Structure 1
């Protein structure tokens, strides 16, 4: 089963942007992520529409951060990159005739809803500034550069 890595990949890109003094081109981001620049542009478009990055055209252009890192959470980035489902667990039949299957579906749906709420609250509690601080500490960099 394939996992959706857009959140972690875009957080990776955003943290590189924090420490970059120059814009990052779609080609540079694509090389870093091992993908192609069209995929980067499509994904970055959601971040641009949310106001988290901006793109500059022409020589020396590329993607730059355009947000206050203290105000943007992992949940904000998740929503901007368009991740639709947090979990891939589903049901074989959403409207079963079988009472056993209805009971199973209701129990699984309830547990998944509770788990999703915990995950959402966890993502809401972490800002890009928090991640940048962790990155700088891990890299042995000063707190604010």
Structure 2
């Protein structure tokens, strides 16, 4: 099963955008992420709709952060991406009348919802500034 890496990739791109200090074109971001500029534009449009980035037209235009990294959480970006599935585990629906299937699905649903609540709660606690600070610490350690 293929994993959805959009959250990780967009967090990566947003921190790079902060470090660039100006607008980054879809082409620049696409090259950085090894993807197509159309994919970048589509994904960034969702982030723009949620107020995290803005698009700047004209010479020197592109995508820029609309808010400081400290005001954007992992949960904000996760939601802007449409809340992709967190887990590959799913429920069976082969025989909705089967009582065993109902019992299994009930237990799995409750457990997955508890895990989802835990993960999204943690996402709400971590800002992009926290990730950038970790990056800065790693760069400093390499230079020491």
Q: Please give the TM-score of this superposition, normalised by the length of structure 2.
A: 0.91
1:81-111 superposed Cα distances (whole Å, 9 cap, x missing partner): 2233222321221871111111111111111
Which residue number in structure 2 is paired with residue 44 of structure 1? 44
Structure in which a larger fraction of residues adopt helix: 2
Aligned equivalents of 1:99, 1:24: Cα separation in 2:
55
Q: Give 3-state SS (helix, strand or coil) of 1:31's partner.
A: helix
DSSP-derived class of the 2:55 partner? strand
**What is the match of residue 59 of structure 1?**
59
Contact 1:23 1:61 in 2 (8 A): yes
1:108 maps to 2:108: yes
Query: 1:51–1:2: structure 2 CA closer, same or farther, 3 Å change rule?
Result: same
* Deviation for aligned residue 1:140: 1.8
Q: Deviations over 1:29-73 (max 9, x none)?
A: 001111100000000001111111111112211111110322211
Residue 96 of structure 1 is matched in structure 2 by 96
Query: How does 1:1-145 map onto structure 2 within 5 Å?
Result: 1-93=1-93, 96-140=96-140
**In 1, Cα distance between the equivalents of 2:130 and 2:58?**
32
| Structure 2: 5+ residue stretches without partners | none
Give structure 1 regions of 4+ aligned residues with deviation exceeding 6 angstroms. Answer: none
Pair 100,36 (structure 1): closer, same or farther in 2 beyond 3 Å:
same
User: Once superposed, what is the RMSD of the aligned Cα atoms?
Assistant: 1.6
Counterpart secondary structure, 1:70: helix
